[in-house]
Protein backbone atom coordinates (compact mmCIF):
# COMPACT_ATOMS: atom_id res chain seq x y z
CA UNK A 1 0.00 0.00 0.00
CA UNK A 2 1.53 3.28 -1.03
CA UNK A 3 1.69 6.39 1.21
CA UNK A 4 -0.21 9.47 0.16
CA UNK A 5 1.54 12.87 0.05
CA UNK A 6 -0.46 15.96 0.79
CA UNK A 7 1.14 19.15 -0.58
CA UNK A 8 0.86 22.44 1.29
CA UNK A 9 -1.96 24.68 0.40
CA UNK A 10 0.42 27.57 -0.42
CA UNK A 11 3.39 26.50 -2.41
CA UNK A 12 6.59 28.46 -1.85
CA UNK A 13 7.41 30.99 -4.47
CA UNK A 14 11.07 30.32 -4.03
CA UNK A 15 12.52 27.08 -2.95
CA UNK A 16 14.92 28.70 -0.51
CA UNK A 17 12.31 30.81 1.22
CA UNK A 18 11.14 28.06 3.45
CA UNK A 19 14.65 27.16 4.51
CA UNK A 20 15.51 30.79 5.28
CA UNK A 21 12.44 31.15 7.38
CA UNK A 22 13.06 28.05 9.33
CA UNK A 23 16.82 28.59 9.83
CA UNK A 24 16.90 32.31 10.95
CA UNK A 25 15.96 32.80 14.60
CA UNK A 26 13.33 35.33 15.42
CA UNK A 27 14.59 38.88 15.87
CA UNK A 28 14.24 40.20 19.41
CA UNK A 29 12.40 43.46 19.83
CA UNK A 30 14.75 46.09 21.38
CA UNK A 31 13.38 48.01 24.31
CA UNK A 32 14.56 51.63 23.95
CA UNK A 33 12.91 52.90 27.02
CA UNK A 34 16.24 52.99 28.98
CA UNK A 35 17.74 55.49 26.53
CA UNK A 36 15.28 58.10 27.74
CA UNK A 37 15.02 57.11 31.36
CA UNK A 38 17.81 58.72 33.50
CA UNK A 39 17.29 56.25 36.31
CA UNK A 40 18.28 53.39 34.11
CA UNK A 41 21.77 54.85 33.32
CA UNK A 42 24.79 53.10 34.86
CA UNK A 43 26.24 54.90 37.96
CA UNK A 44 29.21 57.27 37.50
CA UNK A 45 32.45 55.87 38.80
CA UNK A 46 35.24 58.52 39.08
CA UNK A 47 38.68 57.41 38.05
CA UNK A 48 41.65 57.98 40.44
CA UNK A 49 43.71 61.08 39.66
CA UNK A 50 47.37 60.15 39.62
CA UNK A 51 48.60 63.72 39.12
CA UNK A 52 46.85 65.07 42.20
CA UNK A 53 48.35 62.30 44.31
CA UNK A 54 51.81 63.14 43.02
CA UNK A 55 51.38 66.88 43.73
CA UNK A 56 50.30 66.15 47.29
CA UNK A 57 53.32 63.95 47.88
CA UNK A 58 55.60 66.67 46.46
CA UNK A 59 54.09 69.24 48.81
CA UNK A 60 54.64 66.96 51.77
CA UNK A 61 58.30 66.51 50.85
CA UNK A 62 58.76 70.29 50.46
CA UNK A 63 57.12 70.97 53.84
CA UNK A 64 59.36 68.41 55.53
CA UNK A 65 62.49 69.95 53.99
CA UNK A 66 61.47 73.45 55.12
CA UNK A 67 60.70 72.22 58.61
CA UNK A 68 64.06 70.49 59.08
CA UNK A 69 65.94 73.44 57.55
CA UNK A 70 64.33 75.91 59.93
CA UNK A 71 64.88 73.59 62.87
CA UNK A 72 68.57 73.21 61.97
CA UNK A 73 69.03 76.99 61.71
CA UNK A 74 67.36 77.52 65.09
CA UNK A 75 69.57 74.91 66.69
CA UNK A 76 72.71 76.52 65.24
CA UNK A 77 71.62 79.93 66.51
CA UNK A 78 70.95 78.47 69.93
CA UNK A 79 74.38 76.83 70.05
CA UNK A 80 76.06 80.07 68.92
CA UNK A 81 74.23 82.04 71.62
CA UNK A 82 75.24 79.52 74.28
CA UNK A 83 78.87 79.61 73.12
CA UNK A 84 78.88 83.43 73.10
CA UNK A 85 77.39 83.59 76.59
CA UNK A 86 79.96 81.08 77.86
CA UNK A 87 82.84 83.07 76.36
CA UNK A 88 81.46 86.32 77.77
CA UNK A 89 81.17 84.84 81.27
CA UNK A 90 84.58 83.20 81.04
CA UNK A 91 86.60 86.18 79.71
CA UNK A 92 84.34 89.08 80.80
CA UNK A 93 85.55 91.64 78.21
CA UNK A 94 85.88 95.34 79.04
CA UNK A 95 85.98 98.42 76.88
CA UNK A 96 89.38 99.73 75.87
CA UNK A 97 89.97 103.12 77.44
CA UNK A 98 91.43 106.30 75.97
CA UNK A 99 92.46 109.50 77.74
CA UNK A 100 93.60 112.89 76.46
CA UNK A 101 96.00 114.13 79.11
CA UNK A 102 96.94 117.43 77.47
CA UNK A 103 95.92 119.60 74.51
CA UNK A 104 97.56 122.80 73.30
CA UNK A 105 95.93 125.24 70.90
CA UNK A 106 98.57 126.89 68.73
CA UNK A 107 96.25 128.44 66.17
CA UNK A 108 92.51 128.96 65.77
CA UNK A 109 91.98 131.76 63.25
CA UNK A 110 88.78 132.48 61.37
CA UNK A 111 89.15 135.10 58.64
CA UNK A 112 86.49 136.50 56.33
CA UNK A 113 86.91 138.33 53.04
CA UNK A 114 85.95 142.03 52.93
CA UNK A 115 82.80 141.31 50.94
CA UNK A 116 81.89 138.39 53.28
CA UNK A 117 81.69 136.06 50.31
CA UNK A 118 84.13 133.50 51.73
CA UNK A 119 85.58 132.50 55.11
CA UNK A 120 88.75 130.60 55.88
CA UNK A 121 89.62 128.63 59.03
CA UNK A 122 93.19 127.82 60.05
CA UNK A 123 93.87 125.60 63.07
CA UNK A 124 96.77 123.84 64.80
CA UNK A 125 96.50 121.59 67.87
CA UNK A 126 98.95 119.40 69.76
CA UNK A 127 97.75 116.68 72.11
CA UNK A 128 98.81 113.62 74.13
CA UNK A 129 96.75 110.41 74.07
CA UNK A 130 96.96 107.37 76.39
CA UNK A 131 95.36 104.05 75.43
CA UNK A 132 94.79 101.21 77.91
CA UNK A 133 93.74 97.58 77.59
CA UNK A 134 92.00 96.53 80.85
CA UNK A 135 91.31 92.94 79.72
CA UNK A 136 93.12 90.00 81.28
CA UNK A 137 92.61 87.53 78.41
CA UNK A 138 92.22 89.73 75.31
CA UNK A 139 94.92 91.40 73.19
CA UNK A 140 94.17 94.31 70.85
CA UNK A 141 95.71 95.14 67.45
CA UNK A 142 94.84 98.63 66.19
CA UNK A 143 95.18 99.93 62.65
CA UNK A 144 96.23 103.58 62.07
CA UNK A 145 93.85 106.14 63.58
CA UNK A 146 92.25 109.15 61.93
CA UNK A 147 92.02 111.93 64.53
CA UNK A 148 89.58 114.82 64.03
CA UNK A 149 88.94 118.00 66.03
CA UNK A 150 85.48 119.56 66.10
CA UNK A 151 83.66 122.28 67.97
CA UNK A 152 81.69 120.66 70.76
CA UNK A 153 78.64 122.83 70.27
CA UNK A 154 77.87 122.54 66.55
CA UNK A 155 80.32 119.86 65.31
CA UNK A 156 82.12 122.22 62.96
CA UNK A 157 85.19 120.47 61.53
CA UNK A 158 88.41 122.14 62.73
CA UNK A 159 91.21 119.84 61.54
CA UNK A 160 92.53 116.28 61.43
CA UNK A 161 95.62 114.19 62.09
CA UNK A 162 96.76 110.58 62.39
CA UNK A 163 97.96 108.03 64.93
CA UNK A 164 100.19 105.09 63.93
CA UNK A 165 99.08 101.48 64.24
CA UNK A 166 99.93 99.73 67.51
CA UNK A 167 99.17 96.63 69.59
CA UNK A 168 98.24 96.28 73.23
CA UNK A 169 98.80 93.06 75.12
CA UNK A 170 96.83 92.03 78.19
CA UNK A 171 96.68 94.62 80.97
CA UNK A 172 98.95 97.02 79.08
CA UNK A 173 98.91 100.67 77.98
CA UNK A 174 100.71 102.99 75.59
CA UNK A 175 100.90 106.78 75.11
CA UNK A 176 101.39 109.08 72.12
CA UNK A 177 102.85 112.54 72.55
CA UNK A 178 102.86 115.51 70.20
CA UNK A 179 99.95 114.29 68.08
CA UNK A 180 99.43 117.11 65.58
CA UNK A 181 95.97 118.10 64.35
CA UNK A 182 95.84 120.86 61.75
CA UNK A 183 93.37 122.28 59.28
CA UNK A 184 93.16 124.93 56.59
CA UNK A 185 89.84 124.93 54.80
CA UNK A 186 87.08 127.19 53.57
CA UNK A 187 83.77 127.21 55.42
CA UNK A 188 80.27 127.67 54.10
CA UNK A 189 77.86 130.21 55.53
CA UNK A 190 76.14 127.81 57.92
CA UNK A 191 79.43 126.53 59.36
CA UNK A 192 80.74 130.09 59.80
CA UNK A 193 77.59 131.24 61.57
CA UNK A 194 77.60 128.19 63.85
CA UNK A 195 81.29 128.59 64.72
CA UNK A 196 81.02 132.33 65.32
CA UNK A 197 77.98 131.96 67.55
CA UNK A 198 79.73 129.21 69.49
CA UNK A 199 82.91 131.25 69.92
CA UNK A 200 81.05 134.41 70.94
CA UNK A 201 78.90 132.50 73.41
CA UNK A 202 81.82 130.75 75.06
CA UNK A 203 83.88 133.94 75.12
CA UNK A 204 81.15 135.94 76.76
CA UNK A 205 80.41 133.28 79.37
CA UNK A 206 83.71 131.68 80.32
CA UNK A 207 86.31 133.07 77.91
CA UNK A 208 86.82 129.59 76.44
CA UNK A 209 85.73 127.32 73.62
CA UNK A 210 84.58 123.73 73.93
CA UNK A 211 86.31 121.13 71.74
CA UNK A 212 85.68 117.51 70.84
CA UNK A 213 88.19 114.93 69.56
CA UNK A 214 87.13 111.91 67.50
CA UNK A 215 89.41 108.96 66.66
CA UNK A 216 88.39 106.33 64.10
CA UNK A 217 90.13 103.05 63.28
CA UNK A 218 89.71 99.25 63.08
CA UNK A 219 90.78 96.75 65.70
CA UNK A 220 91.38 93.00 65.79
CA UNK A 221 91.07 91.02 69.01
CA UNK A 222 92.92 87.90 70.10
CA UNK A 223 91.62 85.49 72.72
CA UNK A 224 94.10 82.66 73.10
CA UNK A 225 94.35 81.12 69.63
CA UNK A 226 91.11 82.72 68.43
CA UNK A 227 91.21 85.92 66.36
CA UNK A 228 88.27 88.11 65.43
CA UNK A 229 87.79 89.99 62.20
CA UNK A 230 88.67 93.67 62.02
CA UNK A 231 85.83 95.78 63.33
CA UNK A 232 85.34 99.52 63.39
CA UNK A 233 85.85 101.57 66.54
CA UNK A 234 85.20 105.24 67.22
CA UNK A 235 86.59 107.01 70.27
CA UNK A 236 84.86 110.28 71.19
CA UNK A 237 86.41 112.63 73.74
CA UNK A 238 84.29 115.64 74.65
CA UNK A 239 84.23 118.22 77.43
CA UNK A 240 87.63 119.75 76.50
CA UNK A 241 87.74 123.44 77.39
CA UNK A 242 90.24 125.66 75.61
CA UNK A 243 90.78 129.31 74.81
CA UNK A 244 91.79 131.09 71.60
CA UNK A 245 95.51 131.94 71.63
CA UNK A 246 96.70 135.50 71.26
CA UNK A 247 99.78 135.90 69.17
CA UNK A 248 102.23 133.03 68.88
CA UNK A 249 101.91 131.75 72.43
CA UNK A 250 99.79 128.56 72.55
CA UNK A 251 97.10 128.12 75.13
CA UNK A 252 96.64 124.96 77.22
CA UNK A 253 93.17 123.43 77.24
CA UNK A 254 91.59 121.96 80.33
CA UNK A 255 91.17 118.20 79.87
CA UNK A 256 90.53 117.14 83.46
CA UNK A 257 86.76 116.96 82.91
CA UNK A 258 86.92 115.37 79.48
CA UNK A 259 85.38 111.92 78.93
CA UNK A 260 86.36 109.46 76.22
CA UNK A 261 84.01 106.71 75.08
CA UNK A 262 84.93 103.84 72.75
CA UNK A 263 82.08 102.44 70.65
CA UNK A 264 82.92 98.96 69.41
CA UNK A 265 80.86 95.98 68.26
CA UNK A 266 82.17 92.47 67.62
CA UNK A 267 80.03 90.60 65.07
CA UNK A 268 81.19 87.10 66.01
CA UNK A 269 80.28 87.03 69.70
CA UNK A 270 77.89 89.99 69.67
CA UNK A 271 79.81 91.77 72.39
CA UNK A 272 79.04 95.46 72.68
CA UNK A 273 81.70 97.52 74.38
Q: What is the pLDDT of residues 217-273, one digit of tens each?
A: 999 988 877 888 888 999 999 999 888 888 888 999 998 888 899 987 654 444 444
Q: What is the mean pLDDT of residues 164-181?
A: 94
Global pTM value:
0.64
Is residue 222 within 8 A of residue 136, CB to CB? The reply is no
Q: What is the mean pLDDT of residues 118-124?
A: 89
Q: How far from 167 is each of 28, 141, 229, 236, 250, CA to CA, in Å?
A: 114, 4, 15, 20, 32
Q: What is the mean pLDDT of residues 176-199?
A: 84
| pLDDT greater at residue 14 or residue 225 | 225
Instruction: Compute the Cα dihedral for 44, 47, 48, 51 and give only its sign.
Output: negative
Average pLDDT taken over every residue of the chain: 78
pLDDT band for position 24 (50/70/90)? low
Please work out, in degrees rounded to the nearest 5, the angle formed at the alpha carbon of residue 256 by the alpha carbons of 175 and 101.
Answer: 15
Q: State the pLDDT at residue 20.
A: 44
Lowest mean pLDDT among 26-30, 138-142, 174-178: 26-30
Please give the distance of CA 185 from its chain centroid, rounded to a whole number. Answer: 36
pLDDT band for position 61 (50/70/90)? confident
Amino acid sequence: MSDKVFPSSKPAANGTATNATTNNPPTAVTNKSHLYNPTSRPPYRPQPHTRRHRSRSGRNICCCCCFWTILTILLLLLLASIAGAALYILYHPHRPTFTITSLRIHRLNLTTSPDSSSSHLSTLFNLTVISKNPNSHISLDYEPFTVSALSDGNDVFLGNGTLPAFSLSKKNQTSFRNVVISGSNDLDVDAVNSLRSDLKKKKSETGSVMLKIEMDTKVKMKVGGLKTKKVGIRVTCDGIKGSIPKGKIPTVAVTANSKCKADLRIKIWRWTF
